[in-house]
Structure 1
């Protein structure tokens, strides 16, 4: 009987890398594993280095799931451990080592049992015993109703700030270097097809950007990008359009991601500036005026809108596009330099004469 595997609590880049590694591993293991949603999986990968990982682990552990901690640390408090960096070979070795471990039963949600020890390998480690736990790893397994409160027990000596709710990935998240690999096809609804060569950082698609707005809006998952066989790529890429830099598509994805609201993690009251002149598009003639104001120095969104004569929502979208490509940045007031210490002692007094 095939085991099932899922993943949660990780950023798009880690999710994409793990998805590729799992595809290689499951092919190598000949169908012994199925990749499913984390709610239906026997074993679940969780990125313990991410801000959402510990909370995901608590929830899954309280529900009786077997958790595989993905981390750069030498060990993890999860049932099993996948060390970073990983690849298809290391994931396959790990899955082989835990294949004989029975899946958790629903009863485990109310009374979690001690995890069975897998055969000793270099990549699979059982969860440490309570006496072996470090202070920051000591955490009580709560009931489902109390799970959010127990996250305070993860960190010591002071609890971490409450993280923002995890959002669904959008198209611009997948345009970050490393989020995708290989040659893939993206198409949604009746929109034009995009042929993306992630390794070469190029794409084939229509010359205009605005026709892509609907197809790249909303939640976008890894499975929306389909691998294109090497034999099919030349013909499909030629039919899709001339090759263009993927940074252009990344810029446009950032432009339409916020709908007049700054991307998550950025302060709407902060000041922003361009670090270099961006490539402006003819489809957006007002962007030249916005860029001109931003190149003069740091300014708030309201100040940029006033100086350029462009509405603040369009200014915000332009800032988002350039934050996504690294052409813009949030500006912070530099800290004052410390005053030089006055020379003391005999030699100091002599130098001061």
Structure 2
């Protein structure tokens, strides 16, 4: 009898997911193990991720941190971020069977150990991660990406690093990132989605340096500047983990006070932001944007971190009526007092 193994597919388009499911069903006899999609409570043995999507990139980070087998699905010639196991499109049955049998027969990789250093190069003690209790009002906690929404992942916080001036951030395999808080711009050849690893993998002390003077001017001329607020939005968005910030009212009425353009890599988040331009409750925004509540929470948290979210306990119409009643009451009181 075959041993059961569980897998998750993250970020891959429906065609790839359907192809993998078809191979597992039709070529069942050629697989050395019984592969099934992981359910709640199942131990995950394999993560299959498409790194072109946000969910796939998050799945890769989680798989490396927790020591799980990772297979990347990609088009030929695309960057797979040094992944060892890659299935290139179009998916071929022989390659899929061979890759899955290899994973099933090998020991999972060791979890990646991340060490953070402060300015004085002292080791930061590992903090206990609080466990968040499930929300009763979240009927469907499923996410559009492979993330445990009860897990608070450590991310790079950009704001504290910028208090002392411009930063040049470098990491092997990634495009350099220059951030200048004085001009409120950042410079890089990479797209926004390609800068995500700088935030998802916390920066180490040797990965950034202060720059200024002629060196800063030369680096600024290499690439056109982009608004720093967009990078701060990305930082806040990646820190969010599918739960509404504690200080925000889940039953309130939300509205985006200022439009902030997003890259094409964040089409879903752009759709949610467009819906947020009109005041509504969060469940209405999720329904209008055709998004999960967790995704709406992430976008709201990101904009709220920038001070661009307005939230009220009552809709604008009710607030207008209340204000009118208050004015009438004050006018009546003034009239009676002057008699």
> What interval of TM-score do these two structures reach, taking the shorter chain for normalisation?
0.3 to 0.5
TM-score, normalised by the number of residues in structure 2 = 0.45
Larger radius of gyration: 1
Q: TM-score, normalised by structure 1?
A: 0.43
Structure having the higher helix fraction is 2
